[in-house]
Structure 1
Amino acid sequence: MSSLSTPFASGPLEGEVKGLGPGKLITLTSSALQEIMRIALVHTLFEEAGGGERLALEMYRALKDLGHEVGLYTAHVNERAWEVLTSGMKDFPRPVVLGEPLVTRLLRRSGRLLHYRKLLTMGYLARYAEGLRQRYDIIVETQSNVPLRWADASYIHFPALIDYMALQARAGGLRRLYYWLIVRRVRALADGTKPLMTNSSWTFEYVRKAYGSQRIYVVNPPVNVEELLPLGGDRGKIVLTVSRIGWGKRVIEIPEVARLVPEAEFYLVGSTSSFSGPVIRELKRRAEGLRNFHLETDVPRRRILELMSQASIYLHPPYAEHFGFAIAEAAAAGLVPVVYRDGGGWADIASRIDEGLGYTSVEEAARTVRSLLNDSERLRALSAKAREVAKGFSYERFKERLNEVIKEL
């Protein structure tokens, strides 16, 4: 299919297309006329190597593949996290670092008050919005979990307002005051009239409840199905967990499941941050005396793929995952996911494979894992079903959906 790109302000196409401003490009093909947009992606902090960061990179790649002009911006890049994120990606461009205010740089070095630091940085980045608007048609923010006033659209992994209000309700004393200040700051930054993207049908309801938004688009994060579908081979009694190592993910429960299923080998693999130290110490304490629990941190992508080709079961920690990138990846690789019975990872992925793959307690998770390992025929059937479900989260489907939404902004 041939295509022609030309400045709208000149050439034989001038006056034939309505609504394109000066300096914009259009792409003419035999089947469609598509506007080429200039899009600024802003990811507030590349501090960790989690699903949110991967989503930002995949969105950048998809928009580029769709023919748009795209710039990637941030306030700070953690070098170790960036190395893990871009492992296996050839020549992926680094984001332009806009910088942080002095107070957030000091907070970064102290490793404290992460929520407050993020919110201060979001507000600080507003000063760059005017300059970005002179170069780009739209600004899309991908980390804040707030419909920011200075962005044209935001990708919401889970509404920050609900998270912080819940923390405020549970806290006491000075911490309660701290979260009250954070909630107040979120309300000041938010604009519920802005269009939003989110990661699952489960999260969709929470976004609408938190911000009253009427324009919400579900855009499931992409999974590298082409890379993962061929994985297989001699799978043993291996149970794999891939998760960021942090308190919020509740990975400390994985050794407890391993203790109840001694006939299987459990591998917990995940990225770390400056806040992971206490979690790792607690994991080691709980795993004391266990010979079937293995912790591996900040491993390269090839090691995760190796474990995915050997494991039979994927066990997700007891956490209501907003989408469940690792769950979708594991399903694409043919692992049968055993998932906490709540969240997007359950509603949009695991429950579509089999309703019997959910759990609500460590004991139930252990029973489910043991039952699957003792029924090889069922395990094979569910493995095939998992791959079929995961195909719906392919990069091509993500790109198609993103293109639909961008046209609406």
Structure 2
Amino acid sequence: MARVAVLHNTLDFRGGADAVCVHTCAALAAAHDVALFTISETTPDAVGAQFDVDVSVPVVAPPGASNVAAALSAAAPTVGPQLAARSVLLRAFFRRHASAYDVAVSTANELAVPLPSVQYVHFPQFRCDTTPTADPGRLNGVWSRLAAPAADRPDTRYLANSAWTADAFEASYDRRPTVCHPPVDPIDGAPWGARADRIVVLGRIAPDKRTLDAIDVVDALRARGHDLTCTIVGAAPAAYRDYVADVRAAADSRPYVTVETDVPRGRITELLGRSRYGLNLKPIEHFGMAVAEYVASGMLAFAPDSGGQVDVLDGDDDVLFEGVAGAVDAIAAAIDDGLQPSLPRDRFGRDRFADAIRRQVAAVCPD
């Protein structure tokens, strides 16, 4: 049994990266002594409930961590999520505790740590000036000097959530991670003929997810004569409270659009299992947990033709698109042609993910 420190900058956005974190903690806790280092207001239990993961590990946080997390969330509408900065803060705190652990597992991208490690990359957070499609920001060079890892360390294993992310990481670090798709179990659902003509927009409500654009897509489809409804369901992080208010206002003015935030997992699976269509509008999604959940629940999923979601949808041109107009055309054509889902629902199961994480940790554990 190894002493394992899981490092995750923040759970407060309650998205796909946070699902990977709680799944990792759960996978390792059965065989190792695991502690979670994070700077968050949100507890791992809350994230676990959102993603149907039973996780019970101690949390180690700096003094005043919840206040720091709250302040960063409050400032996010102005300065952005500052994930790299959060990682730098977490690393500085962890270094004072590292000697108590055998292995570190970063579930929120690459990070310089002073012991053997497994690092799960959703998208490179450092050296962004050399990363295709990244927006470095003014301070990324500073954060990189403070916390970017030396990629040639032999006792570090890198994992990436998609082939696209692996390409981006390799461009920055000249080392290719092993692709390990995030965990998404099959979701029980009704037969196609018994499902509602409803578009579900699942996931964090935020500007980068382009949730408001989804409402425009539904408006355009209804204008073409398709009697569709839309349910937007997902987390409403405090960092995006102004945008969430805009989404609610847009929905309130349309009887065919509803918004449900921070609902129990059972409600999410109910919606996915009883609806026909799933829509994601974020371009260059690093993986696309929502898209994978659409597939896992037997929905017909639509997503931009970029990033890791191309992996998830197996490069199917019928359901990949560019821009709002492209989304409208793709969904309208699918409805007119009677297109139904054909991808296997069990491609990304949690057992596969847990086995991969355990193997990687075993490979770097000291003898």
TM-score with structure 2 setting the length: 0.84
- Note if 1:243 corresponds to 2:243: no
Partner of 2:49: 86
Q: Secondary structure at the match of 2:19?
A: helix
Partner of 2:182: 221
**In the superposition, relative to structure 1, how do residues 404 and 90 fare at CA in structure 2: closer, same or farther (>3 Å)?**
closer
| TM-superposition CA deviations, 1:200-254 (whole Å, max 9, x none) | 111000011123335x2211111122xx1x3224102111110201112221210
Larger radius of gyration: 1
- Note if 1:349 corresponds to 2:297: no
**In the superposition, relative to structure 1, how do residues 204 and 277 fare at CA in structure 2: closer, same or farther (>3 Å)?**
same
Q: Which residue identity does 2:10 align to in structure 1?
A: L
The separation in 2 between residues aligned to 1:342 and 1:162, in whole angstroms, is: 22
Partner of 2:141: 183
The separation in 2 between residues aligned to 1:88 and 1:154, in whole angstroms, is: 21
- Note if 1:62 corresponds to 2:27: yes
Determine which of 281, 304, 309 is the counterpart of 1:340. Answer: 304
- Structure with greater contact order relative to length (CA < 8 Å, sep ≥ 6): 2
Q: Secondary structure at the match of 2:313?
A: helix
How many Å apart are 1:54 and its aligned residue? 0.8
The separation in 2 between residues aligned to 1:290 and 1:120, in whole angstroms, is: 38
1:154-303 superposed matches below 5 A: 154-161=119-126, 179-191=137-149, 192-193=151-152, 194-214=156-176, 216-225=177-186, 228=187, 230-233=188-191, 234-262=194-222, 263-284=227-248, 286-287=250-251, 289-303=253-267
Asked if 1 retains the 8 angstrom alpha-carbon contact of 2:38 and 2:90, the reply is: no
Asked if 2 retains the 8 angstrom alpha-carbon contact of 1:76 and 1:99, the reply is: no
**In the superposition, relative to structure 1, how do residues 367 and 224 fare at CA in structure 2: closer, same or farther (>3 Å)?**
same
Asked if 1 retains the 8 angstrom alpha-carbon contact of 2:36 and 2:58, the reply is: yes
- Note if 1:37 corresponds to 2:37: no
The separation in 1 between residues aligned to 2:318 and 2:356, in whole angstroms, is: 30
| TM-superposition CA deviations, 1:281-329 (whole Å, max 9, x none) | 3324555743322221111111111111211111111322111111111
Q: Which residue identity does 2:94 align to in structure 1?
A: Y
The separation in 2 between residues aligned to 1:240 and 1:401, in whole angstroms, is: 31
The separation in 1 between residues aligned to 2:280 and 2:94, in whole angstroms, is: 39
Partner of 2:104: 139
Partner of 1:328: 292
How many Å apart are 1:190 and its aligned residue? 0.6
Single out whichever of 394-403 and 125-134 deviates more from structure 2: 125-134
The separation in 1 between residues aligned to 2:242 and 2:130, in whole angstroms, is: 25
The separation in 1 between residues aligned to 2:129 and 2:71, in whole angstroms, is: 19
Determine which of 373, 394, 405 is the counterpart of 2:335. Answer: 373
- Note if 1:99 corresponds to 2:62: yes
TM-score with structure 1 setting the length: 0.76
Gaps of 5+ in 1: 1-35, 171-175
Asked if 1 retains the 8 angstrom alpha-carbon contact of 2:201 and 2:233, the reply is: yes
**In the superposition, relative to structure 1, how do residues 188 and 281 fare at CA in structure 2: closer, same or farther (>3 Å)?**
same
How many Å apart are 1:130 and its aligned residue? 4.9
Asked if 2 retains the 8 angstrom alpha-carbon contact of 1:241 and 1:314, the reply is: yes
**In the superposition, relative to structure 1, how do residues 238 and 91 fare at CA in structure 2: closer, same or farther (>3 Å)?**
closer
Percent of residue pairs identical: 22
Q: Which residue identity does 1:93 align to in structure 2?
A: S
| TM-superposition CA deviations, 1:161-194 (whole Å, max 9, x none) | 3667899997xxxxx9xx3223322233112234
Q: Secondary structure at the match of 2:355?
A: helix
**In the superposition, relative to structure 1, how do residues 309 and 43 fare at CA in structure 2: closer, same or farther (>3 Å)?**
same
How many Å apart are 1:78 and its aligned residue? 2.3
Partner of 1:17: none
Asked if 1 retains the 8 angstrom alpha-carbon contact of 2:11 and 2:47, the reply is: no
The separation in 1 between residues aligned to 2:359 and 2:27, in whole angstroms, is: 12
Asked if 2 retains the 8 angstrom alpha-carbon contact of 1:318 and 1:360, the reply is: no
